[in-house]
Chain A
């Protein structure tokens, strides 16, 4: 027997769709607008004539972006830092999470306590800064891979997955067949964990790709290591510092040039990540559930 929806229920369904559509529009429209602005004639943009589709299509902004050395250098730095940083992240997170999932690991409780404690208390910005200074890592390339090599949250997600997401009979069978612990890990466990590895890798990749605070705090003088985010931020700051100064004319000039560049640079900086995440979207739910299990 199918129970017919009442009028109130149908009205409520309509309301739900309306809200979801509205929220989706608010999320998407600014991003879409940036894309449209980046290929539109700047004068049409400034006159407020562009709302949905590009007006007077031009690629000047992109030409400008790709011809600027600082932006290109930043882009290259972002790519290398993301590759190197993520490799370090995965190597430091996944095997450790596997070992910590094993009850036979003596000292497991101690190691976990050591890790979880740092989620609630840290030395703080300045002690971290002094520590990196003492380690002679300030203003070096290595700081990008090392200062955030492990995320406790991701480690716990991975560990919970190894505890509950892998059939232990398989591991036992492999070990009875004479497979070493390392062999079991690489040949049996990792291939079964692709979804989890994918999500954790995405979190790390996005973290590195969008990172600007490492450069801001720890390599402020080494412009040659600056990632794209930091280069963009510096562009913004140049403008911010001019706000309120007497030189209105210079401000106008820079605003015009920079606005054009900014739309294009936002597209170039944000697009790779925005293209990547939908592929892993179906695993997000699971990742969140794994992380919410108590340590």
Chain B
């Protein structure tokens, strides 16, 4: 009796509210736990990823870091204009592109390495060497830069080696000429083995009977790599290439901040380090948000364009 009353009250309440239908309530009663699982995470995304987004409005205001962004004085495209009219625009964009195009040119290295390591038949040897080549990926940027400082200093081991074979010392860490090489090749050192994983994984799914058939037809190993392995990993290569080209404007800001000093800043200042310098250290919020927003938009457009091209040309695409 009591139960029935409760049920009726519940029904009447629902009828009164009219917010949720009976079916919805039954569904939620059965599956509320799934929403308990997902909602905190969605809430986190809203607070920490979506709440900042309206903040790009700062790029159009004279926001000083106090009070509400939307109360700040609107200045239109002033910050964009002053960035592009200054010498910083050219300098930071050229520096960014120099580093990113340089590392993009080395994009095939992990693919070549994956193809080569895939040819190793001795499983134990393969496993040990893979463990070793993954190691640099787990070394932090701070440690990497510390190591660079120790080894590539004018008194470090590399310069000792150079002088012992009768060569001139090279100022690796504080000269404009050496900076891009140090930056890009230290990146290759950290990421070569790790970036190869995605290709070795794709290679491991190649059907061995293809290789057997090709061998019987007298194909050499190089021919089999060229005609069987590479086509098999082509979609993976294209996806990785889209991602790389899409992020061509984002050279690691953290690494730039770590490697930059007063002597190499002419080539070390990228758009990312410039935003950090002017925004977080300088408190120039409107200006630095404008520069960051410009960077973000260029990346987004690049990603969409490259993705569309790849969809047309090769059927492989991100979205």
A206: nearest chain-B partner, CB-CB: B138
Q: Which residue of A lies closest to B240 (CB)?
A: A292
Residue among A13, A23, A123, A259 making CB contact with B150, cutoff 8 Å: A259
Task: Give the A interface residue count (CB, 8 A).
Answer: 100
B146-A27 in contact (CB<8A): no
Given contacts A27-B136, A281-B130, contact A294 B40 (CB under 8 A): no
Q: Are A285 and B200 in contact (CB under 8 A)?
A: yes
- A233 at the binding interface (Cβ < 8 Å): yes
B116–A129 contact, CB under 8 A? no
Chain B residues numbered 7-39 whose CB sits less than 8 Å from any CB in chain A: 27, 31, 33-38
Q: Does A178 contact B (CB under 8 A)?
A: no
Closest partner residue, chain A, to B32 (CB atom): A181
Instruction: Of the listed stretches B80-88, B90-98, B100-108, B216-224, name the one at the interface; the rest are far from the partner chain.
Output: B216-224
B6 at the interface (CB under 8 A from A): no
Give the residues from 102 to 132 in chain B that come closer than 8 angstroms, CB to CB, to chain A.
113, 116-117, 119-120, 125, 127, 129-132
Pairwise interchain contact B222-A12, C-beta atoms closer than 8 A: yes
Q: Is B135's CB within 8 Å of the partner chain A?
A: yes
In the complex, A192 has a CB within 8 A of chain B: no
Stretch at the interface among A61-69, A163-171, A268-276: A268-276
B residues less than 8 Å from A294 (CB atoms) = 318-319
Judge whether B179 is part of the interface by a CB distance below 8 angstroms. Answer: no
Which residues of A lie under 8 Å from residue B117 when comparing CB positions?
A: 16, 20
- Return chain A residues, CB-CB under 8 Å to B45: 114-115, 118, 150
CA distance A135 to B44 in the complex (A): 13
Q: Does A274 contact B216, Cβ atoms closer than 8 Å?
A: no
> CB distance B135 to A274 under 8 Å?
yes
Partner of B151, one of A30, A96, A277, A292: A30
B140 within 8 A of A: yes
Pick the contact of A244 from B33, B36, B263 — CB < 8 Å?
B263
Known: A20-B117, A123-B55, A281-B134. A229 touches B142 (CB 8 A): yes
- A30-B151, A31-B139, A105-B38 in contact; A130/B145 too (CB < 8 A)? no
Q: Map CB proximity to A onto B168-199 as digits: 1 under 8 Å, 0 otherwise.
A: 00000010000000000000010011000110
B310 within 8 A of A: no
Using Cβ atoms and an 8 Å threshold, which residues of chain B touch A240? 261-262
Interface membership of chain A positions 255-278, coded 1 if the CB is closer than 8 angstroms to chain B and 0 otherwise: 100010011011001100110011
**A residues in contact with B48, CB < 8 Å:** 128, 131, 146-147, 149
The answer, among A30, A104, A243, for a CB contact under 8 Å with B147, is A30
Whether B308 is near chain A, meaning CB under 8 Å from some CB there, is no
- CB neighbours of B157 from chain A (8 A): 33, 48
Query: Once the chains are docked, how many angstroms separate the CA of A142 from the CA of B46?
Result: 18
The reply to whether B56 and A123 form a contact with Cβ atoms under 8 Å apart is yes
The minimal Cβ–Cβ distance linking A280 to chain B, given in whole angstroms, is: 10
**Residue A191 CB within 8 A of the other chain:** no
Count of chain B residues with a beta carbon within 8 Å of a chain A beta carbon: 97
Smallest Cβ-Cβ distance to A202: which chain B residue: B138
Contacts of A24 in B (CB 8 A): 129, 132-133
- Is A216 a contact of B55 with CB atoms below 8 Å? no
Contacts of A95 in B (CB 8 A): 36-38, 41
When distances are taken between beta carbons in the complex, the residues of chain A under 8 Å from B40 are 92, 96
A93 to B41, Cβ gap below 8 A?
Answer: yes
User: Which of B56, B138, B142 is A273 in contact with, Cβ under 8 Å?
Assistant: B138
Find chain A residues with CB under 8 A from B164 CB: 48
Restricting to B262-308, which residues have a CB under 8 Å from any CB of A?
Answer: 262-263, 272, 275-276, 279-280, 285, 288-289, 292-293, 295-296, 300, 303
Give CA–CA (A142, B275) in the complex, Å: 25
Give B68's nearest chain A residue, CB to CB.
A134
Distance in angstroms between the alpha carbons of A255 and B23 in the assembled complex: 72
Complex: chain A residue closest to B113, CB-CB: A23
- Contact pick for B146, options A125, A180, A266, A273, CB 8 Å: A266
**Which B residues touch A270, using CB under 8 A?**
138-140, 143
Contact indicator per residue, chain B 52-87, by CB within 8 Å of chain A (1) or not (0): 111110100000010001000000000000000000
* CB within 8 Å for A266 and B147 given contacts A48-B157, A127-B53, A281-B131: yes
Interface hub of A23, A48, A123 (most chain B Cβ within 10 A): A123
Is A176 close to B, CB under 8 A?
no
Known: A33-B157, A34-B147, A114-B42. A8 touches B220 (CB 8 A): yes
B149 interface residue per 8 A CB criterion: yes
**Residue A111 interfacial (CB < 8 Å):** yes
Given A127-B52, A270-B139, A98 contacting B37 (CB threshold 8 A): yes
Q: Indicate if the CB atoms of B146 and A236 lie closer than 8 Å.
A: yes
A-B contact pairs, 10 of them (CB 8 A): A20-B117, A23-B133, A24-B129, A27-B193, A30-B151, A131-B48, A131-B55, A210-B142, A278-B131, A284-B134
Considering the complex of A and B, which 5 residue pairs feature the smallest CB-CB distances, nearest first? A127-B55, A210-B140, A123-B52, A96-B41, A95-B37
* Given A21-B129, A128-B52, A236-B142, 13 further pairs, Cβ under 8 A: A8-B222, A28-B135, A30-B151, A96-B38, A100-B38, A104-B34, A106-B27, A123-B56, A125-B272, A212-B254, A274-B135, A285-B201, A288-B197
